Structure 1
Amino acid sequence: MDNERSVAPVDVPAGAAAGPATAAEASGAEREHHPGKLVSAGFQASLFLAFLGVWTALLPATGITLALRVNQIDPDGKAAGLSLVLGVGAFVALVAQNVFGVLSDRTTSRFGMRKPWIASGMVTGAASLLLLASADSIPLLVLAWALTQLTFNALIAGLNPVIPDQVPKRQLGRVSGLMGITQVLAGVGGALLAQLFLPNLTAAMLIPGLFMLVFVTVFLRVLKDRRAKREDLPPFSLLTLLKAFWTSPREAPDFALAWISRLMVMFGNMTLANYQLFFLLDRFGYTEDNVGPAVLLLTVINAVTAIPTSIVFGRISDRLGRRKIFVLVSAVVLSVAHIVAGFAPNFATFVASSVIAGFAMGAYLSVDQALVAEVLPSRTDVAKDMAVLHLANVLPQTLVPVTAPLFLMIGGGSSNYPALFLGGAVIAIVGAIANQFIRSVR
């Protein structure tokens, strides 16, 4: 499988950082590493499986197996126990990926910049799953899940930069679309895999980890990694780690606009995704006993609709060389889904809104990821900047629960779901409009 890249000149985006980073981009070493030649189908398939393996090992724990383990350990305090486990893990994840991203960009190993982090994250991640499966107390479960988040984020910090590292501009939409559907597939497939082994929680936690080990190992054998030279890197200091969480909007305005846009669109999407269960309980007479199949149906519908649009629109955006119009249109369609959901008179109409939302998010995620890869500020800090972008995906998970009650209380009471979903729709559209001011991408 040949995924070597020919030497190509560095295409510095408008607004790219001046100073040391730009100088490094202009160096011969960076020109050598700029993606030029098309990546092979084998490379794409192995990267797809690597991401799929990671999410299959990780996602069932966040949604199913962790909650069941907490319920086994402390059935009376399960809500508080699960919140503690997930909260500590979320904090670790928020910090870890950015720190590991910076360290990945500065890795001068003879094996490459990304391989050491992918390999070490894979091995330690599997060991963390073993600890997680054997945890028999809440404190030990907190520690095990924190270690799982730490190790898997080292792995993800190595995988995420591979697309901008390896994939040329004319394939970005296609490859981003393929990688974008891995979480959707893993969310459904991981849940089904977990159900296959339940009530054996140990097997349900560990078997997905075996898929991760196999798929990531295959990718490591395929990957011909970038290599960095120590003399091309700026001196390391504590300030370097602090900058892991920041990319200057003044020096990289297009990246800043892409970040703000992603934050707002994801915020809008989560108002519907995170509160659909409560909506079903409050509006359509579902109970805790029978709402599960309805939520599963909506999850499957979301996957089935998102996958084809992610692939198709990624390819179309590559062919046309345009990204921003697809971001705008998909956000508008997502907003239509919110409106339909907010005023749905019955479950069938709500299902229709889920279909619309799935189509919209599939198109959005593939094209926007390709756009972001084009506006990264520096070829020397790819992993760090991808981790900064990751914050735009994670922060809405905190911001939506904090602000949602304000929308729900509009007009009195605490269940004004039309106001919540419409608010999310408006925020998503504003985010997509912000995206249109990016200058270096069509």
Structure 2
Amino acid sequence: MDHPPEKGHTAVDEYRTDAAPLDPMAATASVTAEESVPPAAPERLVTAGFQTSLFFAFLGTWTALLPATGITLALKVNQIDPSGKATSLSLVLGVGAFVALVAQNIFGALSDRTSSRFGMRRPWILGGMVTGAASLLGLAFASNIPMLVGTWALTQLTFNILLAGLNPVIPDQVPRRQLGRVSGLIGITQVIAGVAGAFLAQAFLPDLTAAILIPGVALLVLVTVFLFVLKDRRLRREDVAPFDLLLFLKAFWTSPRKAPDFALAWVSRLLVTFGNMTLANYQLYFLLDRFGFTQANVGQAVLLLTLIGAATTIPTSILLGRLSDRLGRRKMFVLLSAIIVAVAHIVAAMAPSFAVFVIAAVVAGLALGAYLAVDQALIAEVLPSRGDVAKDMGVLHLANVLPQTLVPVTAPLFLMIGGGDNYAALFIGGAIVAIIGAIVNQFIRSVR
């Protein structure tokens, strides 16, 4: 028997979202013949409860992953190979990023074909959560660089399975008039997770094992709560087309000719992310080498910078996300915010003291908040197809993870300028790339 959708969730066309919210493993009701046409965009407003649970699911995911990428992984490399830390970190990050590059697109495409009675997204969220927590265990006990390369690659694989299920939930469930608000909330989860991760790292250092594993507990708790709340989209088994390898490989491709605005948004995100990644990946080593911090006290500096980022990014993300919704404008916010972030990174690269570096971080945080909220909302508006949301989000994800491969590959070229470890050259080069990305965004035509 079919049930009408509750407020905050839309049962549309090819799928339903009316599975019992309190049981993530509950069977769903039968689907009627009326649900065989392509899925339509959601129209009903999502509830505060749904937004809250989704917020905390992303927060748990990033709290487990980001401390590793920004703090504990770099310290682990420094502990194992102090003399060659920059090169070894580039190797670890590069291999992991290549895995991430492939993984989310594959699992995103599989998610779009999932006709499980538990929903399209829930199986991937659950599987990624469990295997992701297990991968952190391996990472914590890696004792040499080859082991670190392997366990970090496994971590990237499992967390991208999880994100392949989580990322499509926004376009699946959230109507256009709430995209800015919800995208802003989800955008700041990375900022808050960065603060939480830096705090946990500082609390447990120099015990790197505990600093890596404790965030995994947050992952298990918060994502599990969302699994109970999610009224997942469902796909009828008879509506799944026979497997075609060529079509499956197209999970890595969306035609720029058929979706030019999506292609421009993709290129823009790629370039801006590249610029941000140069500073994010090598900031810890910059603090160690430029300002004289040690492995024992650098956690305090990272925590301070992370707190500053949160205090500046969160309010602008929420306020400017809503303002963007109200004005119906996206591109001008993306342009200005991305350029300001890039300029702030140039200032940070040239900073003669840690105090100046902190000032640059304040400016960057204010602008980054606007970028995180508005660019995500813009991308949701230019997705090519409502029927291939996870696939298209997977293609977009390439723009997020390609820089994780490209930055470690290109970083040594910048670092060797002037005799080696030239982090300023790396940060300035990244800032220039980000400015170009902000300009590319302005050529999108279907969004103001």
- In the alignment, structure 1 residue 111 sits paired with structure 2 residue 118: yes
Per the alignment, residue 31 of structure 2 pairs with: none
C-alpha change, 1:139 and 1:280, in structure 2 (3 Å) is closer
The equivalent of 2:17 in structure 1 is none
Unmatched runs of 5 consecutive residues or more in structure 2: 1-5, 15-33
Task: Say which of 88, 94, 104 aligns to 1:97.
Answer: 104
- Given the superposition, is the C-alpha separation of residues 88 and 437 from structure 1 closer, same or farther in structure 2, using an over 3 Å criterion? closer
The aligned amino acid for 2:193 is A
Letter in 2 for 1:107: T
For the residues of structure 1 that align with 2:369 and 2:63, how far apart are their CA atoms?
19
2:439 is aligned to: 433
Q: Classify the secondary structure of the residue corresponding to 1:248.
A: coil
334-343 vs 30-39, which moves further: 334-343
- Specify the alignment match of 1:120 in structure 2: 127
Give a deviation string over 1:316-349, Cα, whole Å, max 9, x none: 1112221111111212322332443355454333
State the alpha-carbon separation in 2 of the partners of residues 81 and 336 from structure 1: 29
* Mapped partners of 1:85, 1:119: distance in 2: 26
Separation in 1, partners of 2:148, 2:276: 31
Maintained 8 Å contact 1:105/1:384: yes
Percent identity (aligned): 74
Distance 2:356 2:81 in 1: 39
Structure-2 residue corresponding to 1:15: none
The answer to whether the Cα contact below 8 Å between 2:188 and 2:313 also exists between their aligned partners in 1 is: yes
Matches of 2:174 and 2:235, distance apart in 1: 18
In structure 2, distance between residues paired with 1:81 and 1:268: 21
- In the alignment, does 2:176 pair up with 1:169? yes
Letter in 1 for 2:111: S
**Match of 1:60?**
67
Describe how 1:340-419 pairs up with structure 2 within 5 A.
Answer: 340-403=347-410
Range that drifts further, 68-77 or 322-331 = 68-77
Amino acid of the structure 2 residue aligned with 1:439? R
Question: Any conservation in 2 of the 1:255–1:372 contact (CA below 8 Å)?
Answer: yes
Residue 8 of structure 1 contacts residue 34 of structure 1 at CA under 8 Å; is this kept in 2? no
Is residue 60–residue 191 contact of structure 1 (8 Å, CA) maintained in 2? yes
Q: What is the CA–CA distance in structure 1 between the aligned matches of 2:137 and 2:288, rounded to whole Å?
A: 36
Q: CA separation in 1, counterparts of 2:95 and 2:210? A: 24
* C-alpha distance in structure 2 between counterparts of 1:131 and 1:280, whole Å: 28
Corresponding residue for residue 292 of structure 2: 286
Is the 2:171–2:380 contact (alpha carbons within 8 Å) kept by the matching residues of 1?
yes
Structure 1 position 146 matched with structure 2 position 153: yes
Amino acid corresponding to residue 292 of structure 2 in structure 1: Y
Preserved CA contact (<8 Å) 1:53 1:215: yes
Q: Secondary structure at the match of 2:42?
A: coil
Paired residue for 1:5? 10
Q: CA deviation at 1:88?
A: 3.6
* Partner amino acid, structure 2, of 1:312: L
CA-to-aligned-CA distance 1:41-86 (integer Å, 9 cap, x gap): 1101100110111111222333444556667778898777766554
2:233 is equivalent to residue 226 of structure 1: yes
The aligned amino acid for 1:4 is H
Q: CA RMSD in A?
A: 3.3
Counterparts of 2:165 and 2:172 in 1: how far apart (Å)? 11
Distance in structure 1 (CA, Å) of the matches to 2:443 and 2:303: 38
Give the alignment's TM-score, normalised by structure 2: 0.82
Judged with a 3 Å threshold, the aligned counterparts in structure 2 of structure 1 residues 421 and 151 are, in CA distance, closer, same or farther, namely closer
For residue 165 of structure 2, the aligned residue among 158, 166, 182 is 158
Structure 1 runs not aligned, ≥5 long: 10-26
Cα separation, partners in 2 of 1:116 and 1:420, compared to 1, 3 Å = closer
- Kindly provide the amino acid, as one letter, of the partner of residue 157 in structure 1: A
